[in-house]
Amino acid sequence: MLQLTNITLRVSGRPLLEDASLTVPAGHKVSLVGRNGTGKTTLLRAIAGEIGLDGGSIDIPPRLRVGLTRQEAPAGPQSLIDTVLAADTERTALLAEAETATDPHRIAEIHTRLADIEAHTAEARAGTILYGLGFDGDAQRRPCADFSGGWRMRVALAGLLFSQPDLLLLDEPTNHLDLEATLWLQSYLRTYPHTVLLVSHDRELLNAVPQATVHLDQNKLTLYSGGYDRFERTRREQLERQQAMAARQEVQRAHLQSFVDRFRYKASKAKQAQSRIKMLERMEPIASVVEAHTISFNFPSPEPLAPPLMVMDKVSVGYEARTVLRGLNLRIDEEDRIGLLGANGNGKSTLAKLIAGRLEAMSGDLRKSGKLRIGYFAQHQAEEFDLSLTVLAQARRWMPEANEEKVRSHLGRFGFGQDRAGTSVGNLSGGEKARLLFAMISREAPHILILDEPTNHLDVDSRQALIVALNEFQGTVILVSHDPHLIEATADRLWLVAGGEAKPFDGDMDDYRSWLLERAREQRNGGERAAEDGSANRKDQRRAAAELRQQLAPLKKKVDVAEKRVDKLSAEKAGIEQRLADPGLYSGPAEKVTALQKSLADTGRQLEAAEMEWLEAQEAYDNAMSQTV
């Protein structure tokens, strides 16, 4: 289906790929991962035929339809549904020709082809895709010009999905989606009938959809089976083995070289010395692993405040005369981890701005601690940067009272060391600007961090670093994100923002997914009856969900305990392997090496038993879940 043979790709003389090859079979779903700037988007454009290669070939079967996500948002008076229908150019052309064709044979061919491509179901299919991406029936009939750029980018994605190309090239398809649309896209792509090549930084999407993962690293393409988590685990094990082999080889080389140095000029040992010289010459060096620099974040912890940090009593908030949220009765305490759920446009950002003090309450009572400091992250704040300044000069403006050492130290918390502090802000990548925003909002050690879509420009490694930093942060976190993995890994409370209200959601992300699916099913099949009974049904569903969680809690706890034991033993095993890879170990007592090897074998057996226990616990939990459906 897709064959890349010894391709070389350069941009402005900088090599992105050198003599790289890859085969993607027809119908496979494959992700393309790698650090920002390695050339993933450029490779997709080359496959789509938009840019040429500097060497090698890309082979795609003739007449195969290739579709690539576009950055241009559709506009104009055409309705959303008509815009999406027009994306299937073959159907559009056939319908136009059917209006004017006079040859009976050609008319028959046109109608046969229209039947083959199921043209009669086109509007229903287009509507389903638009609905999944957040447009209800009324919105689908409105013109594109009525919507903002982010919403129109969803329409562009809907058109691409509707056209159903044989090779679907997706470049960060979730960037303009909310969590609900992201979850729908996961489900849609899992059943997509053709080949998919996906570039994304959404870890859950990278685990849910692809059957294989291609890693673009050091100008090469390496194929791994499975999703992102499996790729990461396999690559880590390979790197550890390579490092251990390199260390053992270095010990062996040192031993041979020592013999040569001692006996090279002794007549009685010259022959043996020459033999060892030849062994050294034949020994193929194993490269030591040099990992690329990993970004880390470190949010400064605030001094404690007496609870509560903030209380809302019957608060309403909105813009001018338009109320967006009403009747808010919410409380925020120290070290809360709150994820805001709800479709775009329902008021999540409005609630975030209210908590941040960017919006005043229209009515009700909002009380907060007098010493409360809040850090508010929103992507549009990057527009406030002075692009002509260096990173260091920009930070000095935010911290005028701080000395040079303190400013540099704070920048270092977010990956801006000596080598990057002198970089012009205008030359920073999107991910680096996001990190600079983190530095800006946390410069005064806020008690509450409010993060509104913080990961749009962060790669997978940077997202993981953000998760670690948020979990280590000793203040409160309020998070709005379309990345379900980020919410699951950091939030322990969920608030649902919908229908002009914001209330605690009784459940976790799995419950929320189930709730979304059930709501979509009701809206598709229930019509007006579902609208009338919806409130009662939702109460029953929440009650049933709570009862189910209580029944399954012992099994879930057993799974969690087993998983933690697996993680602990895996860490112990890795630590022993790291010690065995230390060349200095082998110059000491042999008993120490033997003891470590025995410990490694024992830990390996324990790990195997723990993994089996974990799998059995997970299977029992899954079986119990399936019996309740």
CATH at residue 595: 1.10.287.380
Strand partners, 311: 331, 367
What is the predicted pLDDT for the residue at 569?
83
**Does residue 573 lie in a domain region?**
yes
Tokens encoding 154 = 């969803």
One domain for residues 336 and 427: yes
What is the predicted pLDDT for the residue at 629?
45
Alpha-helical (H) ranges within 210-285 are 228-263, 270-282
What is the predicted pLDDT for the residue at 532?
44
One domain for residues 117 and 242: no
Number of domains in the chain: 5
| DSSP assignment string, 269-316 | THHHHHHHHHHHHH-PPPPPP-PPPPP---PPPPPP-PSPSEEEEEEE
Q: Is the dihedral of CA 19, 20, 23, 27 positive or negative?
A: negative
One domain for residues 35 and 139: no
Q: Which amino acid is at 571?
A: A
What is the predicted pLDDT for the residue at 311?
96
One domain for residues 398 and 515: yes
**Does residue 169 lie in a domain region?**
yes
Judge whether 434 and 453 are in contact, CB under 8 Å. Answer: no
One domain for residues 207 and 252: no
Judge whether 155 and 85 are in contact, CB under 8 Å. Answer: no
**Does residue 304 lie in a domain region?**
no
One domain for residues 173 and 58: yes
What is the predicted pLDDT for the residue at 168?
96
Q: Is the dihedral of CA 325, 329, 333, 338 positive or negative?
A: negative
DSSP state of 436: H
Residues 6+ apart with CB under 8 A from 232: none
One domain for residues 14 and 105: no
pLDDT along the chain (629 residues), means of 10: 92 88 93 88 93 93 90 86 91 89 88 86 91 90 88 93 94 89 92 94 91 92 91 82 72 76 70 73 58 72 92 94 93 94 90 94 94 90 84 92 91 88 87 89 94 87 89 94 91 93 91 82 55 48 58 74 80 77 73 82 82 73 58
CATH at residue 194: 3.40.50.300
Cα separation, 44 vs 50, whole angstroms: 9
**Does residue 529 lie in a domain region?**
no
**Does residue 466 lie in a domain region?**
yes
Judge whether 190 and 217 are in contact, CB under 8 Å. Answer: no
DSSP state of 145: G
Domain stop point among 522, 544, 568: 522
**Does residue 268 lie in a domain region?**
yes
Range of the domain at 479: 310-522
pTM of the predicted protein model: 0.68
**Does residue 530 lie in a domain region?**
no
One domain for residues 456 and 589: no
DSSP state of 23: E
One domain for residues 484 and 574: no
Cα separation, 559 vs 404, whole angstroms: 50
What is the predicted pLDDT for the residue at 534?
43
Strand partners, 342: none
Judge whether 483 and 455 are in contact, CB under 8 Å. Answer: yes
What is the predicted pLDDT for the residue at 626?
54
One domain for residues 367 and 514: yes
| CA–CA distances in Å: residue 300 to residues 293, 303, 375, 439 | 22, 10, 11, 10
- By CB atoms closer than 10 A (0-12, 13-18, 19+), residue 358 is middle
Cα separation, 243 vs 266, whole angstroms: 35
Cα separation, 291 vs 293, whole angstroms: 6
One domain for residues 333 and 414: yes
Tokens encoding 118 = 């199921």
**Does residue 537 lie in a domain region?**
no
One domain for residues 153 and 169: no
